[in-house]
Structure 1
Amino acid sequence: MPINLSKGQKVDLTKGNPGLKNIMVGLGWDVNAFDTGADFDLDAAAFMLGSNGKCPTDKEFIFYGNLEHPSASVKHMGDNRTGEGEGDDEELEVVLADVPSNVERIAFTVTIYEAEARRQNFGQVSNAYIRIVDKDTNQELIRYDLGEDFSIETAIVVGELYKHNGEWKFNAIGSGFQGGLAALCGHYGIEVA
């Protein structure tokens, strides 16, 4: 049975699963039933952070425009532009042992593409979740349902993996930002053109 987390809860990932090597991070959502005149295109991303809470270089920002870290430790499995269908809408894969030693945390985020132009926000999105699956056994380990706590936000830090005493843990964050992807990039030290 997966562990269902609440906002702010932290849980051990590798301590109780000593063989855990490869994980899949799945993010999903539904769009509420009203029309803003444009499709919702939500995008998952990962920010690989150093001890200062920033990405060391642009290569540590994994998203639809940079699908794989040079170490191959974090891979984005591709952009889903509609969010239709059951199950995960976007997925990232993480090889825990290959995460570079200068990366202490990996933050997982979801943003709304062109949110301002399309007049969209997370108040119009429901059933958003993140789940962590052991890729080798296909067993769901952790699930965090974000609930309906958002209104005008256009970006969410969903949760993060972090290293503590040599073990990986997960923190359910669920904090919203205004300003979409650009705001998140600024927060994590990535310059946006």
Structure 2
Amino acid sequence: MVDIPMRSSAPVTRQTVLSINERKVEGAKTTRTITSINHTQSQTASKASSGTTSSMQHTAMHPSAMHPSAMHPASTPASKPLPPLVHMVQKGQKTPLENSGKLTSIKACLGWNVKNPACDVDVSAFLLGASGKVIGDSWFVFYGQTKSPDHSTVFHVEDGADRESISVDFTKLDASVARIVFVLTINEALEKNLNFGMLQDAYIRIMDSADAELVSFKMDEYYSNVTSMMIGELYLHNGAWKFNAIGNGVAKDLAGLCEMYGVQVI
């Protein structure tokens, strides 16, 4: 059983696989170890000040573990114009990333706009082996667990054209990783009856180390029965990295995605 610090100081629960901080722990994540991503900053501060104890006690709450909505819970996401999407592909299209030599690093930059201001969207990445499952329970990256165990894959909040990004350093990437799936999820979608039909302008663009676009994909299908969207993935093919524009989703929250990709959630 694993205790993983999440967005709050409470134990991680099945409903809250959504907020791990940077402490990396091996083993299974319990339904009491994926703490509620729904806790506000004030709730967290209140628990900390009152000395609340849990399975996470003695572990400092890192600022990166706090969900962005907790910092400004009443704010409405501002609309952003789309950045230039230079090498766009269509849904289902696969394209190589290494035409001009061996790729050493990329940054997957993602953005979106919302039609319903209640939609609070997050980016995550699952690092999968040849089996299609994570290579270990700590091998997914998001706002609450901002680095992979090998420090190759890192979550970033962006201030410019994009909203969030995940960088990948292939020189550090564990050799067991054969696929990296980038996912958009809606915070509390199941609890608040939110879905991807309430989004628009969702895209992913893969940038090289010189900040030049290698490939981009903009979604044009938004489903009202979807709460998590696998927007794109990197995968190894004959020793070279390629990009697949997926654009398909499921009616699962981040906890459900963890189970789907083999993260042990009890």
TM-score interval, smaller chain: 0.7 to 0.9
Corresponding residue of 1:29: 112
Normalising by structure 1, report the TM-score: 0.88
Secondary structure (helix, strand or coil) at the match of 2:230 reads strand
| Alpha-carbon distance in 2 for matches of 1:192, 1:61 | 13
CA positional deviation for 1:71: 1.3
Rg: which structure is higher? 2
Superposition pairs of residues 17-166 of structure 1, within 5 angstroms: 17-32=100-115, 34=116, 39-78=118-157, 87-135=161-209, 137-166=210-239
Gaps of 5+ in 1: none
Q: Deviations over 1:1-28 (max 9, x none)?
A: 83211111000001x1315322110111
Q: Normalized per residue, which structure has more strand?
A: 1
Gaps of 5+ in 2: 1-84
Corresponding residue of 1:12: 96
CA positional deviation for 1:55: 0.5
CA positional deviation for 1:184: 1.4
Do 2:200 and 2:222's aligned partners in 1 also have CA atoms closer than 8 Å?
no
Tell me which amino acid in the other structure corresponds to 1:152.
N
Do 1:177 and 1:183's aligned partners in 2 also have CA atoms closer than 8 Å?
no
Corresponding residue of 1:167: 240
Q: Deviations over 1:79-127 (max 9, x none)?
A: x8xxxx8621111100122211111100110100111222211000000
Q: Deviations over 1:28-76 (max 9, x none)?
A: 10001x45xxx32211111000111000212211111211012111001
Q: 2:261 aligns with which of 179, 188, 191?
A: 188
CA positional deviation for 1:154: 0.4
Q: Name the CA shift for 1:88/1:3 in 2 (closer, same or farther; >3 Å).
A: same
CA positional deviation for 1:148: 3.0
Secondary structure (helix, strand or coil) at the match of 1:106 reads strand
Higher relative contact order, chain-length normalized (CA < 8 Å, sep 6+)? 1
CA positional deviation for 1:191: 2.7
Secondary structure (helix, strand or coil) at the match of 2:106 reads strand
Normalising by structure 2, report the TM-score: 0.64
| Alpha-carbon distance in 1 for matches of 2:228, 2:97 | 25
| Alpha-carbon distance in 2 for matches of 1:99, 1:174 | 25
Identity %, equivalent residues: 40
Tell me which amino acid in the other structure corresponds to 1:7.
K
Instruction: Compute the RMSD of aligned alpha carbons.
Output: 1.8
Secondary structure (helix, strand or coil) at the match of 2:255 reads helix
Number of aligned positions between the proteins: 182
| Alpha-carbon distance in 1 for matches of 2:150, 2:202 | 29
Runs of 4+ more than 4 Å apart: none
Do 1:110 and 1:156's aligned partners in 2 also have CA atoms closer than 8 Å?
yes
Corresponding residue of 2:30: none
Tell me which amino acid in the other structure corresponds to 1:47.
F
Do 1:46 and 1:62's aligned partners in 2 also have CA atoms closer than 8 Å?
yes
Do 2:119 and 2:198's aligned partners in 1 also have CA atoms closer than 8 Å?
no
Tell me which amino acid in the other structure corresponds to 1:168.
W
